[in-house]
Structure 1
Amino acid sequence: MHSPTPSNLLDPGFDLTLRPMRYPRFYEMYRAAIKNTWSVEEIDFQIDLGHLRQRMTPADRHLIERLVAFFATGDSIVSNNLVISLYRHINAPEARMYLSRQLFEEALHIQFYLTLLDNYVPDPERRAQAFAAIENIPSIRRKAGFCQRWTDEVYALGSTDTDANKRRFLLNLTCFASCIEGLFFFGAFAYVYFLRSRGLLPGLAAGTNWVFRDESAHMAFAYEVLNTVRREQPHLFDSEWAQQVRTMMEEAVECEAAFAEDVLSEGVVGLTRREMRQYLEYVADQRLVMLGLPARYHSRNPFPFMELQDVQELTNFFERRVSAYQVAVQGEVAFDQTF
């Protein structure tokens, strides 16, 4: 009797065999994610509403409205790509278990941002504008267009049956992990933690803590997929791929820097556009190094509050709920790294 020939991660088709398990690392990530469950109902926005009425300047409010407008669409874009690209073309049942969990987490994030908008933007007309940000806010439309281009690149991809098709998929995965979840979202998190450093909006910060950890785990999974494919088919990661990734990352930095120009256009005290661009360049370099590529910008992190973000928070023993997860997610993105 012939033993089955193990297929690789990007072979076309649907592998349904969990035993023998070829990729146990993905299964471990799935199990860790299950233990890291939270709910939007646990977030209290009452203090935030008081801050919005009494402690925030018009420039602060502009920052918040732009931020929640991006949040309202960002995770929906990621969810669509999960279904259109990742689940469809990663042929490993263990990995698809994790992606199923990730899809749930993206839905949870969407619910969080929906609740955020309903609380923060009570005016129906302005709320409608925020939900339609892709159409009416140029800086967000630019970011959405960047995302959509990479989604469109694989939308009609029937199968990863050739090296060219595999490279198209890998560029999509690299973009969503490194540029969208790894740069656009981390730029957004920086605004939240800047406000937290001023003692503002604790409900937003509490929910963002959980989203931050989810997104870090999503990146860890994506980089694990990329590293696995690199071991199995190293020829796919050639100089052309490297150049395309560098160009992609540079464009993402410009998109997010343009968003920062918009977010900070009314003059937020204590946060400058130059600092935001420096932070974005710093994060972009981290993503490039994680992909095995040289740094592009050599910028330093200008935000001490982001260096501390990954530290597990001390929590009162008697609190009903902690924001620190039970299980540390391990992989290419670890929580002991600075973001």
Structure 2
Amino acid sequence: MIENVHSEVYSIFIESLIKDPQEKKETFEAAHTNSCVKRKTEWAQRYIESQSSFSTRLLAFACVEGIFFSASFCAIFYMKKQGLMPGLSFSNELIARDEGMHRDFACLLLRERAADPSKETLTLETALEVVREAVEIEKEFVRDALRVDLLGMNADLMQEYVEFCADHLLSNVVAFDKAKGVHRTAGPMYHARNPFDWMESISLTGKTNFFEKRVSEYQKSNVARSTDKASNFDIFKFTQTEDF
């Protein structure tokens, strides 16, 4: 499981970077002892284990991947911008890429379900409520973690970035607007801007020199494929056959 790999990577960095035994213990147990981190865990479990519709639980999963990690990823990329901890930064690029794919896949499933009349549909009201809850929890985490202003980063800017990530997620989700009787894009809700221009470059395709280090992006499929095989691409068309 890829999440196990992510956990192992972060565990190794905690072991390597935190020397104080008590601080190390608190970091490892944060999901149970830190109130802000604990709230994230409890929120995710409440939705995943609930009797809510599959679409609602799917959106909650997308929020975990796309909102609950946003501030932490941004903080680590801030260190990359400062030229600090290249090993941690590169590992985080790989992990952020995976979590971004999980979020995007959840959004794709939600759009596919919205286009299928036989599937139950996520309502706009529910979509906004779920995302709003996730954003408030992540903002609380930001205020607790970022108590000291840094050069080019503070709690207010980070909270705006969380809202920006939420808008990006909602803009990729289709929900049913009961008031208008139509399916439409769920966002944006906050109309937030990205306060960290350097985060834009993180999203761009990697241009890493092959002889310097590995590229932190997935290899693209071969575009030199012969045209006589073009018809075979139909077998790669995404379909959803399971009735959830």
**What is the TM-score of this pair, normalised by structure 1?**
0.58
Tell me the equivalent position of 2:57: 172
| Distance across 2 between alignment mates of 1:262 and 1:294 | 27
Q: What is the CA RMSD across the aligned residues, in angstroms?
A: 2.0
Deviation of residue 225 (structure 1)? 1.9
Tell me the equivalent position of 2:87: 203
Counterpart selection for 1:116 from 5, 10, 13: 13
Tell me the equivalent position of 1:220: 104
CA contact (8 A) 2:164 2:190 kept: yes
| Distance across 2 between alignment mates of 1:263 and 1:234 | 44
Counterpart selection for 1:305 from 193, 198, 204: 198
Q: Tell me, which stretches of 5 or more residues in structure 2 are unaligned?
A: 174-184, 222-236, 238-244
Answer with 132-141 or 226-235: which moved more.
Answer: 226-235
CA contact (8 A) 2:37 2:141 kept: yes
Letter in 1 for 2:56: L
Matches of residues 259-338 of structure 1 in structure 2 within 5 Å?
259-291=141-173, 292-319=185-212, 321-327=214-220
Letter in 2 for 1:153: S
Letter in 2 for 1:149: R
Summarize deviations over 1:93-119 as a string: whole Å, max 9, x none. xxxxxxxxxxx2111111111111111
Tell me the equivalent position of 2:227: none
Matches of residues 97-136 of structure 1 in structure 2 within 5 Å?
104-136=1-33
Letter in 2 for 1:171: T
Instruction: Quickly say closer, same or farther: Cα 1:267–1:320, change in 2 above 3 A.
Output: closer
Counterpart selection for 1:153 from 34, 41, 50: 50
Letter in 1 for 2:16: N
| Distance across 2 between alignment mates of 1:298 and 1:172 | 24
| Distance across 2 between alignment mates of 1:134 and 1:119 | 20
Letter in 1 for 2:126: Q
SS of alignment partner, residue 115 of structure 2: helix
Percentage of identical aligned residues: 31
| Distance across 1 between alignment mates of 2:35 and 2:150 | 20
SS of alignment partner, residue 243 of structure 1: helix
Between the two proteins, the alignment pairs up a number of residues equal to: 211
Deviation of residue 127 (structure 1)? 1.6
Structure with bigger RCO (C-alpha 8 Å, 6+ apart) = 1
| Distance across 1 between alignment mates of 2:138 and 2:200 | 20
Runs of 4+ in 1 over 4 A off after TM superposition: none
CA contact (8 A) 2:36 2:140 kept: yes
Deviation of residue 235 (structure 1)? 6.1
In proportion to residue count, which structure has more helix?
1
Counterpart selection for 1:192 from 76, 84, 93: 76
**What is the TM-score of this pair, normalised by structure 2?**
0.79
1:249 matched to 2:166? The reply is no
Deviation of residue 189 (structure 1)? 1.1
SS of alignment partner, residue 248 of structure 1: helix
| Distance across 2 between alignment mates of 1:277 and 1:131 | 25
Q: Tell me, which stretches of 5 or more residues in structure 1 are unaligned?
A: 1-103, 155-166, 332-339
